[in-house]
């Protein structure tokens, strides 16, 4: 009798297990029946164009099978027909989360963003798609189309020195002139400082160097005098650090924000960036650090700077030695081979370099990214680089694709806000890439 007990227990367990399997199968069948019922209802509503009820039925069906990409897309397309923008975007994003390698929801989202003129979101969506499906022809085509879309802004100045930025700020400023007077233009195309000065520098550390009535001094953003050197200055630079370059009695040195003078011993002194600056002494150029110590010997024939005196905003500098241009790190270590010319790095992206009479692109580490095949070129920013063909300027992307046709007489490097100053038939205007508007 005792031997029968384990057998009985085993039989009961098998019976219970069988019943549970039957119940699970029954439950699954019921779920599938509910799923199919919602699908049939949805299809019926769609045939009658009752989209508001059709989408509800598809959403209920998706609750039973949340992995169904096709149902997620049906929901997105119905919300598109209902012109429910928020629900449409959410539905497309859900479809992407189910299968990020399907191009359709990305492309639908892009078209919706473009219809709303939201170019930045359209481009961000394409970039996300490119990460998952980099070889998809439709995505590649759309990216190229969107990169080439731009608008123009009229300008009211004669000269433009290029936008410069403080730190990571997207609000940049540019020195501009009109009828011989200088002011400061912000990247929103509005004048921060009017055309009231004989010369002007950059707005940094809450101060702007200006020249008025033959006198150099610093003003606030509101135009009030704030800092005046103890000795008459012939030139003042920006306070990009705790020091600004100055020229007094024909010699360059530095002043602090209390006008105290330091090391007036140079033929030229540039602004500090990444704690180094370019200086000239006895006809040769060198690099100093923020403590006024030599980083390099005075051995260079020239150091490449922008119009404000910066040489190293992006962690490297370019100097000329024995007639060749080289890239150096902030410790003065040589990073590249010598070239006939290298234009400054305006971002972490490649800069233009010249070999013979042709231009190509080189990285900060000295690696040639694009061979020297262009008639002329300038450096990359935001994935755009100006290039010249048959005397006209356009723009290429990082894959060498022409995204803006060469129709312009001049084209500047792009700012962080997607602006380039172009000249066409003698008229200056800003070209604004729409994905950065």
pLDDT above 80: residue 14: no
Is the model's pLDDT at 69 over the cut of 60?
Answer: yes
Please report where in the chains the tokens 């790190």 appear, as a residue.
329
Domains belonging to the chain, first-starting first, are 33-151 (1.25.40.10), 353-437 (2.40.10)
Q: Chain-centre distance of CA 4, in angstroms?
A: 79
Q: What is the pLDDT of residues 148-167, one digit of tens each?
A: 899 999 998 999 999 988 87
The per-residue pLDDT of the chain, averaged, comes to 92
How far apart are the C-alpha atoms of 63 and 398, rounded to whole Å? 43
Token digits for 114?
Answer: 């473009």
Is a pLDDT exceeding 80 seen at residue 425?
yes
C-alpha span between 437 and 111 (Å, rounded): 17
Q: How far apart are alpha carbons 167 and 212 in whole angstroms?
A: 28
Closest CA relative to residue 129, chosen from 368, 390, 137: 137
Under the banding of pLDDT at 50, 70 and 90, the label for residue 313 is confident
pLDDT at 6: 63
Distance CA 284, CA 65 (A): 73
Tokens of 400: 């060498």
| DSSP label at residue 259 | -
- Tokens 């971002």 correspond to 347
Give CA–CA dist 180/435, Å, rounded.
Answer: 35
Check the CA dihedral 352-355-358-361 and report its sign. negative
Statement: residue 9 has pLDDT above 70: no
Chain segment 317-346, per-residue pLDDT in tens: 999 999 999 999 999 999 999 999 999 999
DSSP string, 47-66: HTT-HHHHHHHHHHHHHH-T
- Cβ atoms of residues 389 and 355 within 8 Å: no
Q: 92 is written with which tokens?
A: 């497309």
* Tens-digit pLDDT profile for residues 208-221: 999 999 999 999 99
Q: Model confidence over 341-379: pLDDT tens digits?
A: 999 999 999 999 999 999 999 999 999 999 999 999 999
Cα 312 to chain centroid distance, Å, stands at: 19
């Amino acid at each position: 009798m005792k031997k029968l007990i384990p057998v009985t227990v085993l039989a009961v367990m098998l019976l219970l297990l069988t019943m549970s399997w039957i119940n699970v199968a029954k439950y699954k069948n019921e779920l599938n029946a509910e799923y199919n019922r919602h699908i049939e209802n949805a299809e019926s509503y769609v045939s009658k164009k009752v989209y508001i009820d059709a989408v509800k039925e598809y959403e209920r069906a998706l609750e039973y099978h949340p992995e169904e990409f096709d149902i997620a897309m049906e929901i997105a397309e119905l919300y598109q027909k209902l012109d429910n923008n928020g629900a449409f975007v959410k539905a497309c994003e859900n479809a992407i989360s189910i299968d990020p390698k399907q191009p359709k929801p990305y492309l639908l989202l892009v078209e919706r963003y473009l219809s709303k003129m939201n170019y930045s979101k359209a481009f961000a969506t394409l970039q996300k798609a490119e990460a998952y499906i980099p070889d998809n022809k439709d995505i590649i085509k759309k990216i190229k189309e969107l990169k080439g879309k731009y608008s123009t802004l009229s300008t009211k100045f004669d000269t433009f020195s290029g936008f410069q930025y403080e730190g990571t700020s997207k609000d940049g400023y540019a020195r501009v002139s009109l009828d011989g007077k200088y002011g400061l233009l912000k990247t929103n195309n509005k004048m921060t400082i009017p055309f009231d000065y004989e010369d002007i520098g950059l707005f940094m550390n809450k101060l702007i160097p200006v020249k008025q009535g033959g006198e150099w001094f610093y003003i606030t953003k509101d135009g009030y005098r704030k800092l005046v050197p103890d000795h008459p200055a012939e030139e003042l630079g920006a306070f990009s650090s705790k020091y600004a370059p100055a020229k007094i009695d024909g010699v360059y040195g530095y002043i602090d924000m209390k006008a105290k003078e330091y090391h007036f011993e140079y033929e030229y002194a540039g602004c500090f960036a990444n704690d180094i600056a370019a200086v000239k002494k006895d006809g040769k150029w060198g690099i100093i650090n923020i403590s006024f110590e030599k980083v390099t010997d005075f051995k260079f024939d020239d150091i490449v700077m922008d119009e404000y005196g910066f040489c190293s905003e992006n962690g490297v500098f370019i100097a000329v030695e024995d007639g060749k241009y080289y890239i150096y790190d902030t410790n003065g270590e040589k990073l590249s081979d010598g070239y006939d010319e290298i234009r400054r790095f305006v971002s972490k992206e490649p800069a233009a370099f010249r070999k013979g009479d042709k231009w190509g692109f080189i990285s900060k580490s000295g690696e040639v990214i694009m061979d020297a095949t262009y008639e002329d070129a300038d450096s990359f920013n935001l994935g755009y680089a100006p290039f010249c063909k048959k005397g006209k300027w356009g723009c290429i992307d990082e894959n060498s694709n022409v995204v803006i046709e060469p129709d312009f007489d001049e084209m500047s490097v792009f700012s962080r806000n997607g602006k380039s100053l172009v000249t066409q038939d003698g008229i200056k205007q800003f070209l604004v890439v729409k994905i950065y508007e």
